Structure 1
Amino acid sequence: MGTLAKGRAAEDRVDAAARRRGWRAVVRNHNARGGELDLVYRTGDELIVVEVRYRSRGDYGSAAASVTARKQRRIVTATRDLLARQPDLARCAIRFDVVGVDDSDQLDWIENAFYAE
């Protein structure tokens, strides 16, 4: 399986877990100038932006640790773009989660992994 397919499969696993939590999908793979969002959900008045990081091995640190400050800024930029395109979401509180996925059955889900500046 290629890298793109593994990333897509990782997103599918995270999406299934989010839906089991009762979260409603808002958008998947939102592309904006300066950034991209993997998965976005809404539950009540909270918007949950989920960054999925797949790693086949842990040799280079955890998948979640690979979300650098630069990557965080890009996610925040893409979130602002989404809010501009869907103003009804602007009143929601926003939470940024990171989910590390590897070849095991475990998801390393970090809620409130970072905050928008």
Structure 2
Amino acid sequence: MSNKSVGNHYEAVAIRHLTSYGLELVMQNYRLDNGEIDLIMREQEFLVFVEVKYRASQDFADVLEQFSAKQLQRVRHTARVWMSQNGINEHMTAVRFDIIAITGTPFSIEWLKDAF
């Protein structure tokens, strides 16, 4: 499987996981030239921007180490642009940034709410 198809597969796994907890998918794979957001979900009054990471290793820490401060800044910037483009006032909207870490084969899922 190519990296893109692996990514798409595990994003679909993450969507199923999140929707089973009542979140609604708003958008998948929103991209700008300098950033992207894997999933944009809604949970009640919250807009939830989700980064999905998969690693074959069972070590959950390995997944978290993949996130640099610069990458997290890009995600936040991309979220602000998306909200602006969709007429959403970032100062009047409850927003959360979550991480879905999928590790191992067979996989396990860790959901870090309000991760950054």
What band does the TM-score fall into relative to the shorter chain?
A: 0.7 to 0.9
The residue type equivalent to 2:23 in the other structure is W
**Change over 3 Å in CA distance of 1:24–1:59 after alignment to 2:** closer
The CA distance in 2 between the partners of 1:60 and 1:106, in whole Å, is 9
TM-score of the superposition, structure 1-length normalised? 0.87
In the alignment, structure 2 segments of 5+ residues that lack a partner are: none
Give 2:82's aligned residue.
82
Q: Cα offset for 1:99?
A: 1.1
Give 1:101's aligned residue.
102
Given that 1:47 and 1:89 are in contact with CA atoms closer than 8 Å, whether structure 2 keeps it comes out as no
The CA distance in 1 between the partners of 2:93 and 2:33, in whole Å, is 22
Greater mean alpha carbon deviation, residues 34-43 or residues 100-109: 100-109
Q: 3-state DSSP class of the match of 1:15?
A: helix
TM-score of the superposition, structure 2-length normalised? 0.87
Q: 3-state DSSP class of the match of 2:113?
A: strand
Given that 1:42 and 1:48 are in contact with CA atoms closer than 8 Å, whether structure 2 keeps it comes out as yes
The CA distance in 2 between the partners of 1:60 and 1:13, in whole Å, is 17
> RMSD value over aligned CA atoms?
1.9
- What's the CA shift string for 1:56-104, capped at 9, x where partnerless? 2257942123111011011011101101111236432111111111233
Give the % identical residues.
25
The CA distance in 2 between the partners of 1:60 and 1:44, in whole Å, is 28
In the alignment, structure 1 segments of 5+ residues that lack a partner are: none
Give 2:50's aligned residue.
50
The residue type equivalent to 2:5 in the other structure is A
**Change over 3 Å in CA distance of 1:106–1:95 after alignment to 2:** same
Q: Cα offset for 1:48?
A: 0.6
